[in-house]
Structure 1
């Protein structure tokens, strides 16, 4: 069956965004305790491309399938996890890239930030999926929690969308955004 990506982020209402997030069936990797551990011989480059044994995985459906099995442990190691195996995977920066952002408002008028990832997953920013800022004031890096300890780094255009939005809702000296009632400062700690 051919893979059909979800609709463009800009075309979705908040209710449709929530429905798309809910519709994504992720395997229950947090419930699996595989007995075997090994190496997947896979790598996720900083630019979001996936590689296996040095060759790029170019089929989006394959990347999407593998990405649903990703977890990151407390030591920062990423794994592809199945019921029978846990295979290490090298991740140069973050497991995902956030490639688009939209702002919607809930029934009470509160902002809700939604992000599309390079895996076509949709993530709604909030207490369960917080934004994190790293790097320095000169070279900041922004990440959003995805699932099972994994994160997505905002690519340059998505970072620009976030900052443009933040400048409309906060003071440049205290740059911050709010989503689903959670407050996220956007200035890296010194």
Structure 2
């Protein structure tokens, strides 16, 4: 599969993500393409400098199990993703407390509201104790929430008891999202 074929398929869906969940083309092998933890896309070890190309590729990405693919109606190629394919780089908060609504924007322009269909989850690294916060963007594709946004979430968080333990939680669209346990 060539990069030109991928770009052509992505351009056909310039108004948003392609319906990759409907496509079941044959697997054509892996491509030397990688998405770094900071959201930088690499092709043949070199960063893709054109943001418009990254946006186009982001429309045809799919996750099957733990593997990521770029998918067209006729071809499917594997790519490497270091953490999550997207990074949430902006957030708007409307309201406060339990009536609050949190809207995120990714580095490729996806907009998503945290709610039951697009939950926020936080994974705590067992060795370092560092939190890694995510929001589901679409079709089991997540965005890593940028550290600055996570600090904003912590600042607006409330304490709440969950299963007898104290947690920091944020609310959005009527949903409660635990973002970290409090020390006992």
TM-score, reference length from structure 2: 0.80
Partner residue in 2 for 1:28: 19
Q: Does the Cα contact within 8 Å between 1:97 and 1:155 map onto a contact in 2? A: yes
Partner residue in 1 for 2:159: 171
Partner residue in 1 for 2:8: none
Q: Does the Cα contact within 8 Å between 1:71 and 1:147 map onto a contact in 2? A: no
Q: Does the Cα contact within 8 Å between 1:134 and 1:140 map onto a contact in 2? A: yes
Q: Does the Cα contact within 8 Å between 2:116 and 2:175 map onto a contact in 1? A: yes
Summarize the Cα distance change of 1:188–1:88 in structure 2 as closer, same or farther, 3 Å threshold.
farther
Q: Offset of 1:71 from its aligned partner?
A: 1.1
Q: Does the Cα contact within 8 Å between 1:36 and 1:84 map onto a contact in 2? A: no
1:52 is aligned, of 43, 68, 81, to 43
1:187 is aligned, of 177, 180, 183, to 180
Cα separation, 1, equivalents of 2:59 and 2:69? 11
Summarize the Cα distance change of 1:56–1:188 in structure 2 as closer, same or farther, 3 Å threshold.
farther
Q: Does the Cα contact within 8 Å between 1:105 and 1:111 map onto a contact in 2? A: yes
Matched, 1:118 2:107: yes
Query: Where is the strand percentage greater, Structure 1 or Structure 2?
Result: 2
Question: Radius of gyration: which is bigger?
Answer: 2
SS at match of 1:171: strand
Partner residue in 2 for 1:40: 31
Gaps of 5+ in 2: 1-13, 161-165
2:120 is aligned, of 127, 131, 137, to 131
Gaps of 5+ in 1: 1-22
Provide runs of 4+ in structure 1 moved above 6 Å.
none
CA deviation vs aligned residue, 1:44-70 (integer Å, no higher than 9, x gap): 011110000111101111111101111
Summarize the Cα distance change of 1:69–1:93 in structure 2 as closer, same or farther, 3 Å threshold.
same
Cα separation, 2, equivalents of 1:174 and 1:87? 41
Partner residue in 2 for 1:16: none
